[in-house]
Amino acid sequence: EPEVTQTPSHQVTQMGQEVILRCVPISNHLYFYWYRQILGQKVEFLVSFYNNEISEKSEIFDDQFSVERPDGSNFTLKIRSTKLEDSAMYFCASSEEGSGWGYTFGSGTRLTVV
Amino acid sequence: DAKTTQPPSMDCAEGRAANLPCNHSTISGNEYVYWYRQIHSQGPQYIIHGLKNNETNEMASLIITEDRKSSTLILPHATLRDTAVYYCIVRGYFGNEKLTFGTGTRLTIIP
């Protein structure tokens, strides 16, 4: 069964450092998303991306965050200057048509900011 | 915020049917009901969705009331691997609309 692949599975970074989280969505999917989950809290939407541009972003997704699809396969989330409160699980997801049933989530990257 | 209300936790004996309720009294005519689950800290997993008719797939059944204000997810023969947090989500069918997760129901399957 096709999977969304995320790397690394766990990243530790110092406060103020830049970090890039990587995702390989399912190959025929057109819509891409990032969500995050702080330990013990809800899964929160960050951003959606379609046709090489951001479709929607949440209040969390401020100027410190950016997304990119640098080639035909990767989808990245960059945090420019990490804060302690950025520590969370970050989930990438993709869907074929944007319909709610078609979402496939990756297994996540656990980001720890120290 | 999430448009759904779910009990925070439920237990179910292994091998029995698990029935997870969800209230969505403000659902609009073009919105679907989706169910996802999250096992431990893994990424959420799609289970099933429906508009107004009952639906069944290899994982579960979804029963939606006639007025569409509530629904029930049924896992017919629960196993220990079904222990997870189950999320009921309401959103439109197409488009880039985000999934808004609530706190869900933590289902524990008891051996």
Count Cβ atoms below 10 Å from residue A103 Cβ, excluding itself: 23
* pLDDT level of residue B96 (50, 70, 90 thresholds): low
Whole-angstrom distance, CA of residue A45 vs CA of residue A52: 18
Q: Which residue has the tokens 């448009």?
A: B3
In this structure, are residues A98 and A10 in contact, taking their beta carbons and an 8 Å threshold?
Answer: no
A31 or A86, which is more confident? A86
From the list B42, B94, B101, which residue is nearest A42 (CB)? B101
DSSP labels, B14-75: TTSPEEEEEE-TT--TTEEEEEEEE-TTSPPEEEEEESSS-EE-SS-EEEE-TTSSEEEEEE
| pLDDT tens per residue across span A66-79 | 999 988 789 999 99
How much is the pLDDT for B92?
76
| pLDDT tens per residue across span A100-114 | 566 899 999 999 999
Most confident of B2-6, B28-32, B86-90: B86-90
Closest CA to B54 of B72, B27, B29, B78: B72
In this structure, are residues B6 and B107 in contact, taking their beta carbons and an 8 Å threshold?
Answer: no
A70 or A20, which is more confident? A20
Tokens found for residue A82: 């990490």
What percent of chain B is modeled with pLDDT above 70?
A: 95
From the list A42, A44, A56, which residue is nearest B96 (CB)? A56
Tell whether B8 is within 8 A of chain A (Cβ): no
Average pLDDT over residues B14-38: 94
